[in-house]
Amino acid sequence: MAWPMKNDSKHDSPYRKRAPLAFVNAQKRPALYWVLLVLLIYIAFFAIVSQIVKHEMAQIENNTIRVYSQLSEQNQERTLAFFPRDEDSFSTKWPQILNPRSIFSALFSLREMRSESMKKLQHLILAFKKDLSEIDLSGLDLSGKEMDFTGANLSHANLTRVNFSHANLERANLTGANLTAAILTGANLTDALLSEADLSQADLSRGTFSNANFSGAILRETIIIDADLNGVNFLFADLSGVMLRESSLIGADLSGVTLYHADLISANLSRAHLGGATLDGTDLRYANLSRVIGLNQKQLDHSILDEKTILPEGFRRSNMAQ
């Protein structure tokens, strides 16, 4: 019997390992292909950086013009004294396509340019703090302990998305101001006036608001964690969906307030006024309600309690959390 002979041909052998097709094709590509590919990537990177620099510089210019033009209406001569001179203007480091180093230099210098321009605006705004009513400062960074707005008049101002973290706004007038999505973490608003202001979705965590006036204000879905709200006036304010976890509201006036589905877990409401307040779905687990004024059993029946909730004498736990 004749056995079939093994085919030693490398071309026809089924055991031969074939190189991946993509690798074979890559080997066949000329050097010019790779040069063009690198060049295209470089051009694309240059275009992206150029757009970023252009956008940032336009934003800096727009913010500067916006603030200066508004304040110049009050006192043009005084405003011009703060306007940057030619020698003080920002040296824009635009990327150059034939200079790769300039591309990275422009990208990394943006932060410095943004910081310097904001410092000049902050200095100007503080100089006019006594009359900033109805001004548009939306989106600006006014954070830091050096930002002293004590007694400032910001009534009816547009302060949406403004960063006031750790700023001093003691006794400031923010009546009717729009503070939607503003950041006031760690800020001091002791004795501040915020009646009829809109603070929806703002962050007031760890701030000090002792004796501030929030009457008629809108604080829907506002975050106020671990804040000092002792003696605050929230009369008829809308606090729907607000988060007041671990905040202190000792002696606060919450009469007629809407606390629909609000989060008051571990909040201290001792001696607070709750007459006429809407507590439907309000989470009062671990909260301290000792010696509250104006509270009735019907209000509690619509809220969420647990065995750790401290209730006033004579009240029962009817709606316990599961």
Q: What is the DSSP string of 39-98?
A: HHHHHHHHHHHHHHHHHHHHHHHHHHHHHHHHHHTT-HHHHHTTSPPGGGS------BTT
- Compute the distance between CA of residue 223 and CA of residue 203 in angstroms, rounded to an integer: 5
**At which residue do the structure tokens 């309000």 appear?**
282
Spans of the chain below 50 pLDDT: 1, 23-24, 86-88
The tokens for 255 are 């009469």
Q: pTM for the complete prediction?
A: 0.79
**At which residue do the structure tokens 């809108």 appear?**
218
pLDDT digits (tens, 9 = 90+) for 226-271: 999 999 999 999 999 999 999 999 999 999 999 999 999 999 999 9
Tell me what pLDDT residue 87 has. 43
Asked whether 160 and 140 are in contact (CB, 8 A), the reply is no
Tell me what pLDDT residue 86 has. 47
- How do the domains of the chain map onto residue ranges? 30-118
Tell me what pLDDT residue 58 has. 83
Residues in the chain: 322
Q: Give the SS3 label for residue 208.
A: strand
Tell me what pLDDT residue 71 has. 86
On the CB side of 3, how many CA atoms lie within 13 Å of its CA? 3
The tokens for 63 are 């913010």
Burial 293-309 (b: 16+ CB within 10 A, else e): eebeeebbeebbbbeeb
What angle in degrees, to the nearest 10, is found between the helix axes of 31-72 and 100-127?
10
DSSP H/E element including 103: helix 100-127
